[in-house]
Amino acid sequence: MSIGFWQLFILLLFIAAYFIPFIIALIRDVRNKVSVFFLNLFLGWTVIGFFVLLFYASLTNATANVSVVEFVKGKSKRKIKK
């Protein structure tokens, strides 16, 4: 049983789709590229982890010194209205 060209091509597409947050972080030159990679590697299979990393990689300012944890904590705080 041999692996065909299209099977290999589809496998590479799935791997690229899995690492979209990391690819975005590389393109945007986000400060914590290594953190995004490892969190994507270990938590990317969860829907929540994938979307948190996707939002972090695409919404953070590339020059800001905000870590992934600080970004998530800042986004999860709700403003209490009196």
Best CA proximity match to 21, nearest among 9, 1, 12, 48: 48
The answer on pLDDT for 82 being more than 60 is no
Written as six digits, the tokens of 39 are 């969190």
- Supply the pTM of this predicted model: 0.69
CA–CA distance, 32 with 28 (Å, rounded to integer): 11
Written as six digits, the tokens of 35 are 């953190």
pLDDT tens-digit profile of 45-78? Answer: 898 999 999 988 888 776 667 776 777 777 666 5
8 A C-beta contact, residue 44 and residue 19: yes
